[in-house]
């Protein structure tokens, strides 16, 4: 592994991963390949913008010619695919781009890996592919995939293609399924950065339904370490869950966040729930722990640290929230918030 193509590397987790890899593996060249959708942001990569071992290519993973050209130009031996449309609520409003990138785009990258004989393809996936998990159970990697939102289905489609390329062509592939990541540079449509930035501005926090849905909030750097470990020690053809072991109801997450930011709980507004909302995800993480990985942050530490980052980095999110985001916010929350009063 020497020249790594990080697709979707201008997004939240991808950018954190690039920064992490440049710190921990200075011997690797990192080439970010990203379409720069609304969620892609070169501000996330400012810390490496002058680094001679980092390069940026603007491109779509569904564009086979552009993908091959980038692989050849930079003599790529490894692809790590973070590129996806990632917001469940947007997938409910308009699923098209989710399928195009998550399914067709993944196919294009796998074909390029096969055709050009790359050393490794790694797919970044999600706990959402397992669907809602009843209390008392947790998902292991061999469980059936039962996605329930268009987003989750597009990710499951990608996972199935990765597995098919391993079985059919013996492609050297690995896959990680992460839980809810939080931390620096997360687009403020996702619950934690949305709530943190609304709270900073004394705006209401739109909590879906009863707020008792459960998530494993994970600090993004812990996820990056896990991906790094799987890249170096993972077995080809295998998937690895990357959760935390800390489950939390959304209402508790909001409460910690408000306390950290010193804002009143009266900012919470229970609004109409997300259609098909998965109540709970829960990952069994024994397999990756056997490789030697442990989460370094509890959910509470991750939430507090993230809240502080948004309080200290208004330069990053204020310009996002003042742009196209306003129309999105009105479409997603306007009616819901008015009804909740
Ligand atoms: P994000 O929305 O912040 O970033 C996605 C990035 O992909 C953006 O930079 C965007 O421009 C790029 N992109 C989108 N379509 C593209 C295309 N067709 N071609 C090239 N680039 C494209 O997402 P994120 O939260 O950083 O998630 C990254 C990956 O991790 C995704 O695959 C997601 O499914 C997975 N994941 C996310 C979480 C989470 O909690 N955020 C948890 C588990 C897994
Ligand atoms: O579980 C991993 C997944 O986590 C990733 O695969 C997705 O890309 C990522 O977006 C995230 O999905 P969620 O739907 O769980 O994340 P989100 O931040 O949108 O919501 C977290 C929880 O908070 C969820 O139960 C829905 C709820 N929520 C969300 C929003 C945006 C609210 O109550 N109000 C909101 O306004």
Would you say residue 126 lies in a domain?
Answer: yes
Q: What is the pLDDT of residue 341?
A: 75
Can you point out the beta strands (E) in 222-328?
Answer: 239-242, 248-249, 268-271
Ligand 2: distance of its center to the CA of 291 in Å?
28
Identify each DSSP E strand in 245-304 by its residue range.
248-249, 268-271
**What is the CATH classification number for the domain harbouring 160?**
3.40.50.720
Q: Which ligand is nearest to the CA of 176?
A: 1
Region 49-60: mean pLDDT is 98
Is residue 39 within 8 Å of 86, Cβ to Cβ?
A: yes
Q: What is the pLDDT of residues 217-256, one digit of tens each?
A: 999 999 999 999 999 999 999 999 999 988 999 999 999 9
**Catalytic residue of the set 127, 216, 222, 247:** 127
How many whole angstroms separate alpha carbon 141 and alpha carbon 285?
9
Is the pLDDT assigned to residue 161 strictly greater than 90? yes
Average pLDDT, the chain: 97
Identify whether 64 is part of a domain: yes
In a domain, 161, yes or no: yes
- Site to probe by mutation for ligand 1, drawn from 10, 16, 18, 37 as the one with most ligand atoms within 8 Å of Cβ, is 37
- Quick check: is 159 catalytic? no
pLDDT above 90 coverage of the chain, percent: 98
Is 74 contained in some domain? Answer: yes
In a domain, 277, yes or no: no
CA–CA separation, 6 vs 59, rounded Å? 12
Q: What is the pLDDT of residues 179-203, one digit of tens each?
A: 999 999 999 999 999 999 999 999 9
How would you classify the pairing of strands 78-81 and 120-126? parallel
Domain region containing 78? 3-182+220-242
How much of the chain exceeds pLDDT 70, in percent?
100
Characterise 268 by phi-psi region: left (phi > 0), alpha (psi -120 to 50), beta (else). Answer: beta
Residue 158 falls inside a structural domain? yes
pLDDT of residue 1: 79
Let me know if 38 is a catalytic residue. no
Ligand 2 pocket mutation pick from 208, 241, 310, 325 by most atoms within 8 angstroms of CB: 208
Q: Write out residues with Cβ below 6 Å of ligand 1.
A: 7-8, 10-14, 34-37, 39-40, 60-62, 82-86, 101, 105, 124, 126, 155, 178, 180-181, 187
pLDDT single digits (tens) 11-29: 999 999 999 999 999 999 9
* Residues 150-175, mean pLDDT to the nearest whole number: 98
CA dihedral 133, 136, 141, 147 (to 10 degrees): 0
In total, how many domains does the chain have?
1
Q: pLDDT tens for residues 75-84? A: 999 999 999 9
Q: Is residue 320 part of a domain?
A: no
**What is the b/e burial string over 225-264, where b = at least 16 CB atoms within 10 angstroms of the residue's CB?**
bbbbbbbeebeebbbbbbbbbbbbbbebbbbbbbebbebe
The answer to whether residue 175 is domain-embedded is yes
pLDDT at 82: 99
Indicate which residue's Cα is closest to atom 22 of ligand 2.
191
Q: What is the DSSP string of 45-102?
A: GGGGTT-TTEEEEE--TT-HHHHHHHHHHTT--EEEE--S---HHHHHH--HHHHIII
């Amino acid at each position: 592994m020497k020249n790594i193509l990080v697709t979707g590397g201008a997004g939240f987790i991808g950018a954190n991963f690039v920064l992490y890899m440049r710190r921990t593996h200075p011997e690797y060249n990192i080439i970010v390949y990203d379409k720069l959708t609304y969620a892609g942001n070169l501000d996330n990569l400012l810390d490496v913008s002058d680094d001679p071992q980092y390069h940026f290519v603007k491109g779509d993973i569904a564009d086979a010619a552009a993908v091959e050209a980038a692989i050849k130009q930079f003599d790529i031996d490894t692809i790590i695919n973070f590129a996806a449309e990632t917001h469940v609520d947007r997938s409910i409003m308009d699923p098209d781009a989710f399928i195009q990138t998550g399914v067709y785009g993944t196919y294009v990258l796998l074909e390029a890996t096969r055709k050009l004989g790359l050393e490794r393809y790694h797919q970044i996936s999600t706990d959402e592919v397992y669907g809602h998990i009843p209390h008392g159970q947790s998902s292991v990697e061999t469980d059936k995939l039962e996605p329930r939102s268009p987003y989750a289905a597009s990710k499951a489609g990608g996972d199935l293609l990765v597995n098919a390329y391993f079985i059919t062509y013996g492609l050297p592939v690995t896959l990680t399924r992460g839980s809810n990541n939080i931390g620096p540079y997360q687009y403020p449509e996702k619950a934690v950065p949305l709530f943190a930035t609304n709270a900073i501005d004394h705006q209401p926090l739109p909590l879906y339904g009863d707020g008792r849905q459960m998530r494993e909030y994970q600090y993004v750097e812990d996820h990056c370490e896990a991906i790094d470990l799987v890249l170096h020690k993972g077995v080809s053809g295998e998937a690895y869950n990357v959760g935390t072991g800390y489950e939390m109801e959304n209402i508790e997450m909001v409460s910690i966040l408000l306390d950290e930011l010193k804002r009143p709980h009266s900012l919470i507004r229970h609004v109409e729930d997300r259609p098909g909302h998965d109540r709970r995800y829960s990952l069994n993480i024994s397999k990756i722990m056997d490789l030697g990985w442990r989460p370094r942050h509890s959910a509470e530490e991750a939430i507090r640290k993230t809240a502080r980052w948004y309080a200290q980095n208004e330069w990053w999110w204020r310009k996002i929230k003042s742009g196209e985001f306003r129309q999105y916010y009105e479409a997603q929350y306007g009616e819901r918030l008015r009804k909740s009063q």
